[in-house]
Amino acid sequence: MTAGKRETSMDKIFINGIVRTLDRAYPVCEAVGIKGGIILRLGRNEEVISCADERTEIIDLAGKLMLPGFVDTHMHLIDYYRTTRRIDLSTAESFEEMAGRIRERADQEPESEWVFGANFNQDNWENGVLPTRRDLDRVCGSHPVCVQRSCWHISVLNTRAMELTGLLKETRDTSLYMDFYDDGTPNGVIKENSQNKIYENFPVPEPEELKEWLKKAMADAAAKGITQVHSEDFQAFSRDRRELVMKAYMELAGEGQMPVRVYQQCLMPTKEQLERFLAQGHRTGETHGYYRLGPFKVVNDGSLGAHTAALRQPYACDPQTRGLPLYREDELKELFEIAHRNGCQIAVHCIGDASAEAVLDAYEYVMTKYPRTDCRHGILHCQIMDEELQDRFRQLNVIAYVQPVFLRYDMFIVDDCVGSELARQSYNWRRFCDLGVHQCGGSDCPVEKFDVLPNICHAVTRSDNHGAPAWYPENGVTVDEAVRMFTTEAAYASFEESVKGTVTVGKYADFTVIDRDIYEIPSEEIKDARVEMTVVGGNVVYRRT
Amino acid sequence: MTAGKRETSMDKIFINGIVRTLDRAYPVCEAVGIKGGIILRLGRNEEVISCADERTEIIDLAGKLMLPGFVDTHMHLIDYYRTTRRIDLSTAESFEEMAGRIRERADQEPESEWVFGANFNQDNWENGVLPTRRDLDRVCGSHPVCVQRSCWHISVLNTRAMELTGLLKETRDTSLYMDFYDDGTPNGVIKENSQNKIYENFPVPEPEELKEWLKKAMADAAAKGITQVHSEDFQAFSRDRRELVMKAYMELAGEGQMPVRVYQQCLMPTKEQLERFLAQGHRTGETHGYYRLGPFKVVNDGSLGAHTAALRQPYACDPQTRGLPLYREDELKELFEIAHRNGCQIAVHCIGDASAEAVLDAYEYVMTKYPRTDCRHGILHCQIMDEELQDRFRQLNVIAYVQPVFLRYDMFIVDDCVGSELARQSYNWRRFCDLGVHQCGGSDCPVEKFDVLPNICHAVTRSDNHGAPAWYPENGVTVDEAVRMFTTEAAYASFEESVKGTVTVGKYADFTVIDRDIYEIPSEEIKDARVEMTVVGGNVVYRRT
């Protein structure tokens, strides 16, 4: 080797892979050479190995599948971390099972400590009844107890917790989203953003502690093959702690302590928060190493399971409600006008059709009033909608952020909630693809686990992956389309398609390695595939041992 | 109409078109609504017309074809303008015919005025002999006469012109590229960049005059359906007049006087010029309205017709030469290293395979030594090359800038120049497409006319479009691929694919309207199609009357 040789040698070469690049230049190749975190060579083993010298690390993929790095386009890193500290109630199959876990945790803690449970779902229980304050008191009266439903739009507190938060004093004329017993006292059920009242007196971590939380959360994501998350964190502390959150991320980025890339979904519920953000000079695309600012985000309705998703018609199973739109259309227009005119991308949580319609109307208004190139505004979740609303995504070139994994549970409730005529048009990922709408995938973790392969599996099979018959299987996508939701289309959603989303010479060396070729196995087996390795910017950030 | 209505109404709506968007969202649609220079609505007539009010201009396309605006990715606007002032010799079918036109012009001018002729080609004459100084003296001895070959790599001067330029005093030991008679005196043939010696004593126009030249040249381009040119102009005055040229363009851009967009190919033959450019803060992508700075450009060899294209093997028809490489590989590396490390795109003129090989080697060197995302370096012309060199475009993700119209003439000389084995691998646009190489189209105007439709026609038919049998027709592309060379791929070559290159909501309203649907007619008729209208940033900059 000469000195000149090293200058054109690779840092690392991956060989013996089935590299599905998603790029027409090398649809499938064996080997990838990288240097300085960038893909520089693709081809057959011998072609790429010719760029090695003795300092080049050769990584044998041993016939495994390499894809462009997976991206989760909607999740919550800080909330995810906190969930890992809570009792996992997602597998509780009855109220009694949940109660047992609460008592077990309470027995280990002093009475001053809160007992938090996450992700219960009474629809999985035989009686299907949402518990209330007095039910929880019978489980544990000593400690403050708070359990959150899997949809994250409902929490239930026991009496001790209601006292400590001051919520027990509320009456029916409150402006909070909460329910009451017939006797007029609060029943402990707190909904939507009123849940902030539960948490707002808790101490917020110091920046150094928050950085540790984020590092653990990012490491967990990397272990699932994820190379970038679009994460929503500004309101994770039930009040606007944007500056703390940005400081923690920016310091981690500056210290090179981010194993994965983060595109921040900037949830700012009020005009004042948005205006302050803009006045400080922040915009979509601001970049600090692996940390980038993403869209201005608002939440425009609730969830289907909680009957708070805003529908145009009353819930079929609950005719006295159409759900809970959280902004009036004039409020949406005002917020969007500010964000749009300042060059920001916008993304809005909409689950019900009334919510999506209001947001699409407001997008049409601002995009036409103030024409701008390449806005990439989007709607998160896109669940209940008819074909006419879908057509408007194409018409306005609006991004659909979807969570195929939601189907696992929603397939059992959507027809009941909205009737089959609307249900068969909803969650219609096939038609979004056919319309040429940009459609990217996410998990909404910790609402769901952020494992990407089961998520891809749901997108294709349209089943719960546990034997239930597929739900409107004609609305499913191909494996390739599902993979693109978590790679190519995800890169588009963050304006990074020129440097991410395919395995292409000149793009970042972000890869996910999987133990089998998911393009060649029965699609219901995709959920069982395992992530072998995760590579971000050329660094191996996870390797299965 | 209410005030609110106007806010979401279009400025202009094009209806009744066959709009081939090149975008999967609306592959073909009828109508396009635009506002503020941006595409905001696509669809059926009635869908888009619903966004009109009484101030909306409705433009009836009457069944004509609308495409994304054509882009010429390599031409010379200033040289084009000057050619319009010269005698057009491109149609002269003999030396005598050329001589007649020279005498006619000389008779109209005082003896102090130069007589310039452009684009003669002796290969179209029966004897096929390149004229020399004394041949021209017999035509006109009184005026200085200079005729330039159609390849622009050779000029021939009469004795008067050689005296005035001082070139008559040169001897065989000169460092200039020029030829001599057996008697040792210059024969008037001046080649490659030594042609600068002819022009360097001519006065350079004042900025205001240059702006007029550019406006006329751009208006002519618009009349051919062109919405953007990648133009190379810095050396148009045979010495570095970069600052004058940039000043003229930037003033025109600031005054809104550019009918078309210009992406400047920044020809800077020396390291000193490049370093000064960078020291002034200029980089690829610098934007002044419709004027943007493009790649650093150098010319690395000559032309095939002049036998100055640098080949790896001697010319089959002229075995004493392999052409004229203009830079050593270490010089290329040094220049590229400076440009690449400063974030510039690079584009290099290479016609022969030796030239392309040297440039690809130098690209590989700098791209691997200093890894950078998304470089988009390219090679202009890409004519003589074997499949192995083509493969390296894919390997390094290098852009191929091709001029299909060159085939019109070159199809008759390539086999003679390089032999059929290499000829059949050359000009192989089909294989570049199949390799997934980014391939964009241009005219090299004024070397050729900048009409895009005949250029597309050559790309598909591989014929001279005047009845000669197609030349290696298997190397041709489809109509759609050819159109993409001048639209989508051209947008990629200027890093503008997110705002140009397809008809997509959120992109600039740049369109070319053609009198017939070139996708549906016999491909040899594409050359006869006519441009009906050119739209740039929503403004109709040309309309056929």
DSSP B287: E
Q: How confident is the model at residue B488 (pLDDT cuts 50, 70, 90)?
A: very high
Please judge whether A369 and B42 are an interchain contact, meaning their C-beta atoms are less than 8 angstroms apart: no
CB B297 within 8 A of CB B265: yes
Through-space distance between the first and last CA atoms of chain A, rounded to whole angstroms: 34
Indicate if the pLDDT at residue B525 is higher than 70. Answer: yes
What's the pLDDT score for residue A112? 86
Task: Identify the CA nearest to A80 among candidates A239, A276, A224.
Answer: A224
Q: Which two tokens stand for residue A98?
A: 């949940």
CA distance B402 to chain A (A): 18
CB A146 within 8 A of CB A198: yes
What's the pLDDT score for residue B404? 98
Give the C-alpha separation, B286 to A337, whole Å: 28
Q: What is the pLDDT of residues B101-114, one digit of tens each?
A: 999 999 998 998 89
CB B291 within 8 A of CB B250: yes
DSSP A22: S
Helix-, strand-, coil-residue percentages of chain A, each rounded to 5:
35, 20, 45
Please judge whether A36 and B371 are an interchain contact, meaning their C-beta atoms are less than 8 angstroms apart: yes
Residue with tokens 């849940």: A195
Share the mean pLDDT of chain B: 95
What's the pLDDT score for residue B153? 87
- Chain A residues with CB inside 8 Å of B43's CB? 395
Residue with tokens 């060059």: A343
Residue with tokens 């050559």: B458
Please judge whether A23 and B436 are an interchain contact, meaning their C-beta atoms are less than 8 angstroms apart: yes
Indicate if the pLDDT at residue B274 is higher than 60. Answer: yes
Q: Which two tokens stand for residue A478?
A: 């191909």
Indicate if the pLDDT at residue B395 is higher than 80. Answer: yes
Q: What is the pLDDT of residues B8-55, one digit of tens each?
A: 799 999 999 999 999 999 999 999 999 999 999 999 999 999 999 999
Please judge whether B40 and A367 are an interchain contact, meaning their C-beta atoms are less than 8 angstroms apart: yes
- Chain A residues with CB inside 8 Å of B508's CB? 373
Tell me which of A40, A346, A391 to substitute to probe the interface with B (most B C-beta atoms closer than 10 Å).
Answer: A40
Residue of A nearest to B504 (CA): A397
A131 prior amide bond cis, ω within 30: no
Q: Which two tokens stand for residue B123?
A: 């290969």
CA distance A370 to chain B (A): 8
What's the pLDDT score for residue A2? 42
Q: Which two tokens stand for residue B135?
A: 């041949």
What's the pLDDT score for residue A408? 92
CB A25 within 8 A of CB B436: yes
Residue B154: strand, helix, or coil: strand
Give the C-alpha separation, B298 to A344, whole Å: 39
- Chain B residues with CB inside 8 Å of A377's CB? none
Tell me which of B21, B505, B507 to substitute to probe the interface with A (most A C-beta atoms closer than 10 Å).
Answer: B505
C-alpha angle A6/A8/A13, rounded to 5°?
Answer: 90
Residue A541 exposure: Cα atoms within 13 Å on the Cβ side = 31
Give the C-alpha separation, B66 to B42, whole Å: 12
Residue of B nearest to A437 (CA): B25
- Chain B residues with CB inside 8 Å of A47's CB? 395
CB B348 within 8 A of CB B380: yes
Q: Tell me the residue length of chain B.
A: 545
CB B400 within 8 A of CB B437: yes
Give the C-alpha separation, B242 to B255, whole Å: 20
Residue A33: strand, helix, or coil: strand
Write down the pTM of the prediction: 0.92
Residue A423 exposure: Cα atoms within 13 Å on the Cβ side = 18
Integer CA distances (angstroms), A121 to A21, A103, A155, A162, in order: 39, 18, 11, 21
Indicate if the pLDDT at residue B2 is higher than 50. Answer: no
Q: Quote the strand ranges of A331-397, DSSP E.
A: 346-350, 378-381
Indicate if the pLDDT at residue B146 is higher than 80. Answer: yes
Indicate if the pLDDT at residue B6 is higher than 80. Answer: no
Q: Which two tokens stand for residue B43?
A: 């669809």
User: What are the residue ranges in chain A where pLDDT is below 70?
Assistant: 1-6
- Chain A residues with CB inside 8 Å of B495's CB? 498
- Chain B residues with CB inside 8 Å of A370's CB? 36
A269 prior amide bond cis, ω within 30: no
Q: What is the pLDDT of residues B219-230, one digit of tens each?
A: 999 999 999 999
Indicate if the pLDDT at residue B163 is higher than 90. Answer: yes
Angle separating helix axes A329-341 and A353-369, nearest 10 degrees: 40
Beta carbons within 8 Å of A440's beta carbon, 6+ residues apart: A71, A73, A399, A400, A401, A402, A485, A486, A489, A490, A492, A493
- Tell me which residue in B42, B368, B498 faces A40 most closely, judged by beta carbons: B368
- Chain A residues with CB inside 8 Å of B506's CB? 372-376, 397
Task: Identify the CA nearest to A404 among candidates A449, A353, A441.
Answer: A441
Please judge whether B397 and A25 are an interchain contact, meaning their C-beta atoms are less than 8 angstroms apart: yes
- Chain A residues with CB inside 8 Å of B361's CB? none
Please judge whether A373 and B499 are an interchain contact, meaning their C-beta atoms are less than 8 angstroms apart: yes
Please judge whether B395 and A436 are an interchain contact, meaning their C-beta atoms are less than 8 angstroms apart: no
- Pairing label, strands A154-157, A145-149: antiparallel
- Chain A residues with CB inside 8 Å of B23's CB? 436
What single string gives the DSSP state of each residue in A321-335? Answer: ------S-HHHHHHH
Residue A411 has φ and ψ, to the nearest 5°, of -55, -20
Question: Any bridge partners for residue B154, and if so which?
Answer: B191
Give the C-alpha separation, B113 to B92, whole Å: 22
- Tell me which residue in B8, B373, B507 faces A38 most closely, judged by beta carbons: B373
Give the C-alpha separation, A463 to A484, whole Å: 20
Question: Any bridge partners for residue A60, and if so which?
Answer: A15
DSSP B193: G
Q: What is the pLDDT of residues B70-91, one digit of tens each?
A: 999 999 999 999 989 899 999 9
Residue with tokens 């040899």: B524
Compute the radius of gyration of chain A from its Cα atoms: 24
- Tell me which residue in B24, B40, B376 faces A371 most closely, judged by beta carbons: B40
Residue A449: strand, helix, or coil: coil
CB B492 within 8 A of CB B376: yes
Q: How confident is the model at residue B5 (pLDDT cuts 50, 70, 90)?
A: low
Please judge whether A373 and B8 are an interchain contact, meaning their C-beta atoms are less than 8 angstroms apart: no
Please judge whether A8 and B368 are an interchain contact, meaning their C-beta atoms are less than 8 angstroms apart: yes
CB A211 within 8 A of CB A252: yes
Amino acid at residue number B143: H
Task: Identify the CA nearest to B497 among candidates B208, B228, B297, B317.
Answer: B228
Q: What is the pLDDT of residues B490-514, one digit of tens each?
A: 999 999 999 999 999 999 999 999 9
Helix-, strand-, coil-residue percentages of chain B, each rounded to 5:
35, 20, 45
CB B74 within 8 A of CB B382: no
Tell me which of A368, A399, A481, A499 to substitute to probe the interface with B (most B C-beta atoms closer than 10 Å).
Answer: A368
Q: Which two tokens stand for residue A163?
A: 């006292």
Give the C-alpha separation, A508 to B439, whole Å: 23
Burial of A504 per CB tally in 10 Å (0-12, 13-18, 19+): buried
Residue of B nearest to A43 (CA): B395
Give the C-alpha separation, A501 to A494, whole Å: 10
CB B511 within 8 A of CB B230: no
Give the C-alpha separation, B77 to B226, whole Å: 12
Task: Please state, as a whole number, how many other Cβ atoms lie within 10 Å of the Cβ of residue B431.
Answer: 18
CB B396 within 8 A of CB B360: yes
